[in-house]
């Protein structure tokens, strides 16, 4: 029982410490995310001075835990605050830490319940067995897709049979190119009036990438479904 609860206990302790140090912090972060304004986020980060990197990483963790919120906002703000190179590094650190924390939290809370649901469905059972055998490859491909819902991908991995090591290495490697493109895109969005042509080209690259992965997915749809040995 304690083994399942320790990620949540550690997360609760960290959240409480942040709240005690800065009571309005989480409300301010939520307002920034909902507003979706890169320049406001830039001003907020800069106001923290030496703590700017830590605040940026915390925002990334919150976005990853949500499961659905996009990270392009904080990636673009990081590009403006730290420059393109520094923004990529800080965004990569935040994404990876956020993914690790979210994976541990969701796995400890949801995997047992998800297992019962998976075992009732042949298709879900097939997908679960595939993730157990090919977890690294599947997660790597998912992480390589720019602007993909990182939190949702992490949640799906957490409730599957994918190992923590497969998720970790796929995230560390796969996030490098996707974060680089996301930071660049966020930077162009922050200065859209000055860089409209480059922004259009980046959106074209992202759209082409999504089209390619959709085409690959259609071609590699499984023909056969086998029993999952992890189900009773």
Q: Where are the domains positioned within the chain?
A: 2-219
Q: What is the pLDDT of residues 108-151, one digit of tens each?
A: 887 777 677 667 666 667 666 766 677 788 888 888 877 777 88
State residue 110's pLDDT score: 77
pLDDT digits (tens, 9 = 90+) for 17-37: 888 988 998 899 888 888 888
Q: Is the pLDDT confidence value at 80 over 80?
A: yes
The pLDDT value given to residue 39: 86
Most confident of 43-52, 102-111, 192-201: 43-52
- Which pLDDT does position 11 carry in this prediction? 80
Distance CA 199, CA 42 (A): 19
pLDDT of residue 1: 54
Read off the tokens for 108. 């400890």
The pLDDT score that the predictor gives to residue 191 is 62
Closest C-alpha among 167, 33, 46, 43 to residue 98: 167
Q: So what's the pLDDT on residue 223?
A: 47
User: pLDDT digits over 81-107, tens only?
Assistant: 999 899 999 999 999 998 999 888 888
CA distances from 194 to 66, 81, 127, 217 (A): 32, 18, 45, 37
Sign of CA dihedral 228, 133, 7, 95: negative
- Here the tokens at position 139 are 């997660």
């Amino acid at each position: 029982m304690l083994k399942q609860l320790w990620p949540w206990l550690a997360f609760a302790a960290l959240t409480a410490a942040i709240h005690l140090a800065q009571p309005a912090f989480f409300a301010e972060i939520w307002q920034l995310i909902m507003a979706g304004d890169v320049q406001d986020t830039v001003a907020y980060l800069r106001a923290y001075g030496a703590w700017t990197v830590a605040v940026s990483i915390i925002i990334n963790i919150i976005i990853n835990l949500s499961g659905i919120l996009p990270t392009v906002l904080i990636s673009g703000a990081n590009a403006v605050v730290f420059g393109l190179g520094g923004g990529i590094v800080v965004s990569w650190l935040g994404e990876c830490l956020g993914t690790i924390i979210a994976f541990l939290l969701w796995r400890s809370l949801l995997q047992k319940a998800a297992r019962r649901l998976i075992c009732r469905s042949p298709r879900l059972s097939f997908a679960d067995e595939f993730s157990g055998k090919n977890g690294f490859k599947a997660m790597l491909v998912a992480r390589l897709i720019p602007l993909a819902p990182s939190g949702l991908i992490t949640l799906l991995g957490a409730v599957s049979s994918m190992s923590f090591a497969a998720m970790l290495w796929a995230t560390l490697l796969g996030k490098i190119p996707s974060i680089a493109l996301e930071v660049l895109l966020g930077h162009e969005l922050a200065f859209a009036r000055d860089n409209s042509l480059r922004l259009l080209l980046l959106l074209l690259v992202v759209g082409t990438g999504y089209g390619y992965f959709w085409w690959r997915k259609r071609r590699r749809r499984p023909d056969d479904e086998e029993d999952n040995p992890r189900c009773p």
